[in-house]
Chains A and B, each alone.
Chain A
């Protein structure tokens, strides 16, 4: 049971200062811009919620948002179970564990533009291993021309890139379970599935929540990898929200609507995360936290 102690604020103060310094000030700037029409560097007119209305009515935005949602949900649906599975398969100790850890984390370490670049070549039918293999298996695979292929490629690339994050989190969570639980389960005659269901999964609750929220957030904000790989195409088939925002901001260089869009973007993520967070807390063990 947690004790009530307001002096705990002192422990939290450093974090608060760092993040506030880095976050609140910029945020204030963005809010400021979002309610202004910036005609020139020295002239701006207060327009209130006008930008917000314009942005929200934009049909292209709706399209990008829908694509983004599908992408994020698909990514979660694959990466979380796959991550848990692989984490369960990894050895707990010894040189094998060390080797597995290093190999697993390699995809995470590549700068994101390089990730996109690799997969560009990798997926090409003429000069790429994956593209060539798929074509020789009879599929007519072309991620530049075919929307479905583009989607699949972007998905697989993201799964390849980010599943290791889920694996590492789950693996660390599994290692934090004391041996005594497994011993007690053996004495109780529990089956392997019961061990997973009643010991491992509940004890991974915390890391799983982090994994789900983190992957949701990051996939919702994804920009570099799909942009480099497909450029958002074919057409706007793989244009997700972040790219759409950049297109609008850079293309039109209008800080007002761009800032409004940024705020809306942020609020959407906030809303989803809040819902997910609250839902996962409730679904949990009901432990007194």
Chain B
């Protein structure tokens, strides 16, 4: 709650600075490699869509995009679905080993993914999950589920337990209470969790690339095939960067009401 003018000024300043590198990326995506490494130009002097064309004409581009979206969507849904009951348990109950379990969950995010690479490769080859969307979605759950449980638990703990009890007295069954009363109260938590699950899964390249070959190959392929015969393909890389922002921006747009909506306490 700050003075409106100060906060707007600060916000706008921050956003402008923050958008500069994004603008730069857009800028680069519309230039030729020669122009990029040759001169400093604030906008493309020789506007070209060739970089985008390279991506769009690549036969694996389209499938790569779709593949990524599939396993990321799977991961989002699975992670949040599995995390909700667990977060509720951590928030409302004490049980044997609960604090240890909670912290142990976090520890799964404390290892560089590179460490998981070889074991995952062996594991998924053994169970025949290699090169499937499910494999990547499952693999990504290692770091997304702990995060989801953690964030959701934080928001759930902000709701007084008395709300649960009042609902039971009023005759709500647990499922109805959970869906109709409880979840709407932690809307902003769910919105933010969904977005983070999307984001971390979307940008994760190492596991996604290693665990797939043909059928489920993600956009990582286009991302990393950036060194052409002529050297670093700056323009294509920038174009790919621009294209990967789009789905994420859409996701945030869709969950914006979840995140931004105020908190209406109680049933008036």
Contacts and interface: CB of A to CB of B under 8 A. Distances in A.
Interface of A: 1-9, 11-12, 14-16, 18-19, 21-23, 25-27, 29-30, 85-86, 88-90, 92-93, 97-98, 100-114, 117-119, 121-122, 126-130, 132, 160, 164-165, 168-169, 171-173, 175-180, 182, 192, 195-196, 200, 203, 206-207, 209-210, 213-214, 217, 221, 223-224, 242, 245-246, 249, 262, 265-266, 269-270, 273-274, 277, 289
Contacts, number: 306
A213 B106 contact: yes
Interface stretch (B47-55, B57-65, B233-241): B233-241
Q: How would you classify the secondary structure of chain B's contact residues: helix, strand, loop or mixed?
A: helix
Given A22-B142, A171-B259, 14 more contacts: A8-B92, A12-B95, A22-B139, A85-B10, A89-B10, A106-B19, A108-B248, A110-B203, A110-B245, A132-B40, A172-B188, A173-B155, A177-B263, A203-B158
A26 B120 contact: yes
B22 A102 contact: no
A166 B205 CA distance: 23
B54 to A, nearest CB: 15
17 contacts: A14-B85, A15-B82, A22-B138, A22-B141, A29-B119, A103-B18, A105-B195, A108-B203, A111-B223, A121-B28, A121-B36, A178-B264, A203-B158, A206-B155, A221-B110, A242-B114, A262-B111
Interface string B5-29: 0011011001101111110110010
Contact of A128 (B40, B153, B240, B261): B40
A192 B1 contact: yes
B256 A98 contact: yes
B96 A103 contact: no
Contacts of A213: 106
A262 B116 CA distance: 10
Q: Is the interface of A mostly helix, strand, loop or mixed?
A: helix
Given A15-B149, A89-B11, A106-B245, A98 B253 contact: yes
A103 B155 contact: no
A114 B105 contact: no
Contacts of A129: 20, 24, 40, 42
A3 B237 contact: no
A178 B115 contact: no
Interface residues of B, number: 109
Contact of B40 (A127, A169, A175): A127
Which of the listed residues B7, B36, B110, B248 has the most CB atoms from chain A within 10 Å of its own CB?
A: B110
Contacts of B78: 18
A266 B103 contact: no
Nearest to A86: B14
A88 B1 contact: yes
Interface in B144-176: 145-147, 149-151, 153-155, 157-158, 161
Interface string B251-268: 011001001111111000
A118 B21 CA distance: 7
Contact of B15 (A21, A103, A112, A207): A103
A127 B244 contact: no
Contact of B93 (A5, A160, A168, A242): A5
A166 B192 CA distance: 11
Nearest to A190: B1
